[in-house]
Amino acid sequence: MEGFVTHHVRRTHEFVLGAEIDSVFHLFTPAGERLWADGWRPVFLYPPTGDTREGMVFTTDHDHEHTIWALVELNPEHHRVRYVRVTPGSRFGFVEVACMEESADRTLVTVTYEITALTAAGNDYVASFGESEYREMILSWQQDIEAFLASSRT
């Protein structure tokens, strides 16, 4: 890796969901995300039951990439969750989701990705992870979650 210079990026975007905070926060756990994210199929390593807890480890295979995840902070009282993720041969990252009550039926969701390249392929990924691409990804989360919430109300 002589001569390799890693690239790093931090992206944050917010959106509002028309639901109370306690009905929204669990949707950002590995099991909760399965309810609304097409193709999200975590494989739970620890604990094998998939119980959401700090220290849990799971993997995903999405878009032809294998990623290892660990839940490093779970704070239901403050509606915040933080993950570490490693896509071997590419990148290391943190993912944080924080929910804040705007009103009884509106929740502000802030999603932050912080990515560090591990290889030249990771640098290519970081270079493609621009503000507009990130915003589009997070807004698709909002649309998918809103669709899930609407279907669960009927």
| Confidence at residue 105, expressed as pLDDT on a 0 to 100 scale | 95
Average pLDDT over residues 40-64: 95
Dist CA 70 CA 73 (whole Å): 9
| Confidence at residue 3, expressed as pLDDT on a 0 to 100 scale | 82
Note the pLDDT tens digit of each residue in 76-103: 999 999 999 999 999 999 999 999 999 9
| Confidence at residue 63, expressed as pLDDT on a 0 to 100 scale | 82
Dist CA 60 CA 141 (whole Å): 17
pLDDT at 1 over 70: no
Note the pLDDT tens digit of each residue in 137-152: 999 999 999 999 999 8
pLDDT at 37 over 70: yes
The sheet that has 80-87: what strands, in order across it?
8-17, 106-117, 91-103, 80-87, 65-75, 57-62, 43-46
| Confidence at residue 153, expressed as pLDDT on a 0 to 100 scale | 77
CB distance 102 to 86 below 8 Å? no
CB distance 149 to 19 below 8 Å? yes
| Confidence at residue 154, expressed as pLDDT on a 0 to 100 scale | 67
pLDDT band at 53 (very low <50, low <70, confident <90, very high): very high
Residue 112 dihedral angles phi and psi, to the nearest 5°: -125, 130
| Confidence at residue 76, expressed as pLDDT on a 0 to 100 scale | 96
In the chain the domains, ranked by start, together with CATH numbers, are 8-153 (3.30.530.20)
